[in-house]
Amino acid sequence: MVATNQYVADSATLLEIYKRAALLKANDERARKVILSGQIAMVYYSYRGQEIIPSVMGQLLRDDDTICTIYRGIHDMLGKGFPLRPLWAELAGRVTGSCKGKGGPMHLTYPPKGIMVTTGIVGSSAPIANGLAWAAQLDKSDRVSVCTFGDGASNIGAVHEAMNLASIWKLPTIFVCQNNLFAEHTTFEKMTGGQNIAGRAAGYGMPGVRVNGNDPEEMYSAFAQAVARARAGEGPTLLECMTFRFFGHNFGDDDSYIPKDQKAAAMEADPVPALRARLIADRIASEHELAAIEADIEAQIDDALEFALASPWPEPDDLRFDVFEKEIAA
């Protein structure tokens, strides 16, 4: 499939993908550090190890393309362009957060960049993504609707209902399964009949492709093809992007259920430094240039964190607002 694919990430594209991946990696590292320091107390689902997938998606999507993601989805949002200040202020629960502190890390939303829904319910991104795709069809727009979910969600009914509907309505929905081999604490192998999620697409009459989600070129090629198909009105695609989650289900859990050697091997093959090394080896960028990019990212996160922590908390009275369009009477 990939070999015959016409979509190839050139050098400039690989560098752009790296810039996003470096941001995602740095932001995750900072989030864990901030939690450990006690500066922000939050539920946090680390995506460390899965950065390449959304970095590629962000590279290929437009602002008007929409995304519905999940609680382990800050990488998806940053890849799509979620600005750091409203992101960090929301993580900190402040009124300057994108959701005024009402959503938090599991419900981050930012419509100007097409980040429409972040759900805390496994698999629920898929049915809603179809509605955004239906709207694109009605608008006669070529925008696409992406939903991301994990290997765990591929076993919940909502995802299957959504894939069937997307297929029969030829919706421009792209189902991106980030298969990190663990559904919460349980292995993909133990819980997945057929051992293959992409293969399920055949049952719904749509293309299903398994790719190495940690390989930027393979990921780019497959995702670009899915986007092109959706933009052309040819219907949905299911991508199963193989990856690995370096840490536990939620930050702070005892991840002893992840075999030590498997984890060590995955971290050894960390896709972000791998891409970095590749850029230097192929003379796409110099060590000096990449270090400057990374320093700039750290400075942007510093600024966002500082902004967040200096921002005011919401007022108790804010509970009356945004339940309905009209406020609840005091």
Phi/psi at 239 (nearest 5 deg)?
Answer: -110, 130
Say if residues 98 and 90 touch (Cβ distance below 8 Å): yes
Which listed range, 43-51, 244-252, 271-279, 316-324, lies at the site for other proteins (CB under 8 A)? 316-324
63 or 253, CB closer to other proteins? 63
**Among candidate residues 93, 108, 92, the one with its CA nearest the CA of residue 39:** 92
Applying CB under 8 A, which of residues 58, 73, 93, 101 lies at the interface with other proteins?
A: 101
Q: Which of residues 159-178 bind other proteins (CB under 8 A)?
A: 161-162, 164-165, 168-169
Phi, psi (deg, nearest 5) at residue 104: 80, -175
The separation between CA 218 and the C-alpha centre of its own chain, rounded to angstroms, equals 17
CB 308 within 8 A of CB 88: yes
Q: Does 179 bind other proteins (CB under 8 A)?
A: no
N- to C-terminal Cα separation, the chain:
60
Closest distance to other proteins from the beta carbon of 7 (Å): 27
Applying CB under 8 A, among 107, 231, 263, 278 the residue interacting with other proteins is: 107
226 binds other proteins (CB under 8 A): no
Question: Can residue 139 be called a binding residue for other proteins (CB under 8 A)?
Answer: yes
Size of the site for other proteins (CB under 8 A): 47
Identified binder of other proteins from the candidate list 14, 60, 132, 144, rule CB under 8 A: 132
Cα 92 off chain centre by? 20
**Rounded least distance, CB 132 to other proteins, Å:** 4
Provide, rounded to whole angstroms, the least separation between the CB of residue 302 and other proteins.
Answer: 25
Residue 66 has a CB neighbour count (10 Å cut-off) of 27
At 45 the three-state DSSP class reads coil
Task: Print burial letters for 289-322: b (CB count within 10 Å at least 16), e (below 16).
Answer: ebeebbeebeebbeebbebbeebeebeeeeeeee
User: Which positions from 55 through 74 interact with other proteins, judged by CB under 8 A?
Assistant: 66, 68
Binding mask 189-208 for other proteins (x = CB under 8 A): --------------------
The footprint of other proteins (CB under 8 A) covers: 66, 68, 97-103, 107, 109-111, 116-117, 119-121, 124, 126-139, 145, 157-158, 161-162, 164-165, 168-169, 321-325
